[in-house]
Structure formats: structure tokens, C-alpha cells
Amino acid sequence: MADAEGLVLENQDALSGDIASTYKKKAIDGVAPQADALAVFDRDGYVVLKGLLDPDRLRRVVAATRACLGPTGRNSFEGFRTQRAYALLAKSRDLDILAAHPQILGFLKARLHSEPLLSAFLAINIRPGEDQQIPHYDDGFYNAPRPGPVQGLSVIWALDPFSIENGATRVWPGSHLWPNGREPGDADASIQAVMEAGDAIVFNGALWHAGGANTTTDQFRLAVTAQYCAPWLRTQENMSLSVPPKTVATLADPLPSLLGYQIHPPFMGHVNGMHPRRLLEEKA
Ligand SMILES: O=C(O)CCC(=O)C(=O)O
């Protein structure tokens, strides 16, 4: 590819580097995770990070999330008694923090990629009487050999306290290392991620998990999940079409990059031979 004003490729060596001229590759900036948190993540496939949102922030996030909720799910995966709301970055600025929290960015950089993509960003409100979700792992779409390199990293933000009774996420510790074809069975130990509102569970996209059953008659379990993937993979939600460019033009870094306004060097993700960020210049 050669374009005097865009992505310039002068010789074969350039294929291994960043050939963008105006918008150079920019790693996300986050808070580096504690070594013990990384060790737990590597061993068990997940770690719970506590108290990431101050009370005022939490109040605003909860209000914004509730305002996005609509009808209950259309299948057993979404949950017939669970409300889901997708494309959250098109709907509220109060939720930006959940997609780009510094502690989460640090984790992404340490364990996924320095320029990840946001694959999915949705609210999940498990209501009384909901059954446990089908166990699954979020990287299942990629049909890759297991175990393998980290391809995705998922976060579930507790916006209500998560309890055993109201449907705290169930995880199978260590299952990120299971081979292809192995699924959770009765003999496999699982735990539920009991959390306070404002905590988040961060897990490897290869970890088997499921939304828990809500056995209460009167409690909701509100969450937002942010799922990320390596920049060469397809995202679950088509973010380019979910969030209008005029909205993306207003977002703080690294949200445009997380939404796909980035180049994976040398030129994956270009638009008509140009860096996608140029589209935002026209909208700003
Ligand atoms: O709600 C939960 O706890 C888990 C949801 C989930 O894993 C999903 O829908 O992909």
C-alpha cells in the first residue's frame, strides 16, 4: 500500500513496523496491576478487583445503566428473565469509565495487548427467577486450539452487590487451561464471584463461566460487561456501526482506539488507505 498522505510503505522491512504517518501506534496507558493479582489471573484464569468506583461515580453508573435497560432476552443465552442492553457507548457518557478504567487498561496491557479492541460492552440485569446461563467461554467464537495465547479478556462490573442468591457469575477456576472439547461437568469445582457493587471480575476469554441463577423473588443483579480482544480479531459487537463517528469524535482516548479507530501495524484497519482517525477529524 502506498499513499503519500496516508500509510506509506517504502520497503519490505516496513511491513513489520508502523507505517502510519500522522497517527502513530499508541499503547494504552493504565495502572500496572499488582504482581499478586496477575499471578492469580494466570493461575485461576480470573481475579476480582475490589472497590474500583467511588460512591458518586457508582451512583451515576448505576443510574445510566438502568436507563439503558429494555426488554428481557430472546433466548436462553441472553436469559428470558434477564434484561440486556448493547452498544452502551452510543447511549451514555457516564459508562465510558467502565470501558476504559485505568486499572482495567493496565490489565489489558499486561495480559492481552497494548492496543486491544472493545469486543462487547453491554448491561446485564438478571431478574428474580432466572436460571443459570449456559456455561461458555467468551473466546469460543474464535475456534482456536486450547490452551493458547490470551486472545480476549472480559470484565464483569458488579453494579449491585453480587450474591450466591441473586446470580453472581459462576466461574470454573483453572478452566482457561482446559483443552478443546472439555466442558464443565458435575465433578468440576466452580465458585460464584460474590462482589460488592463497584468491584469487577477480570477473566481470561478462555475461562468457562456463566451468569448465575437468581433464586430470589425480589432482587435484581445489575452488571455491565466489557469484553476485549486482540486487534487482529473480529469483535462481537460491530462497534464501527454501533457507535456513530460523530459520537466517537467526542470520546477521550483510548476509547476511539478501543472502538477500532486504530491501525494494527502495518495497515490492518485502514479506511481507503488512510488511518481511521482521519474520519474523526471531519466530525470534530
Ligand atoms: O452475567 C454474567 O454473570 C455472565 C454473562 C456472560 O457471561 C455472558 O453473557 O457472556
pLDDT of residue 258: 98
Instruction: Kindly state the DSSP code that residue 176 receives in the 8-state scheme.
Output: G
Pocket test for ligand 1, best of 209, 214, 228, 235 (most atoms within 8 A of CB): 209
Flag whether 220 is in a domain: yes
Is 156 close to ligand 1, i.e. is its CB under 6 Å away? yes
Flag whether 137 is in a domain: yes
Predicted structure pTM score: 0.94
Flag whether 85 is in a domain: yes
Is 151 close to ligand 1, i.e. is its CB under 6 Å away? no
Q: What is the CATH number of the domain that holds 191?
A: 2.60.120.620
Flag whether 279 is in a domain: no
Pairing of strands 152-158, 46-49: unpaired
pLDDT of residue 10: 66
Flag whether 229 is in a domain: yes
- Ligand 1 centroid–CA 230 distance in Å is 20
Q: Could you list the residue range(s) of the whole structural domain that residue 163 is in? A: 27-262
pLDDT of residue 25: 83
Using the atom order of ligand 1, give the atom closest to the CA of residue 77. 9
- Ligand 1 centroid–CA 53 distance in Å is 21
pLDDT of residue 156: 99
The protein residue whose alpha carbon is closest to atom 7 in ligand 1 is 210
pLDDT of residue 107: 97
The protein residue whose alpha carbon is closest to atom 1 in ligand 1 is 211
Flag whether 278 is in a domain: no
pLDDT of residue 1: 45
Flag whether 275 is in a domain: no
Using the atom order of ligand 1, give the atom closest to the CA of residue 82. 1
Flag whether 120 is in a domain: yes
Count of domains observed in the chain: 1
| Tens digit of each residue's pLDDT, the chain (284 residues) | 444 455 666 667 667 777 777 888 888 899 999 999 999 999 999 999 999 999 999 999 999 999 999 999 999 999 999 999 999 999 999 999 999 999 999 999 999 999 999 999 999 999 999 999 999 999 999 999 999 999 999 999 999 999 999 999 999 999 999 999 999 999 999 999 999 999 999 999 999 999 999 999 999 999 999 999 999 999 999 999 999 999 999 999 999 999 999 999 999 999 999 999 999 997 66
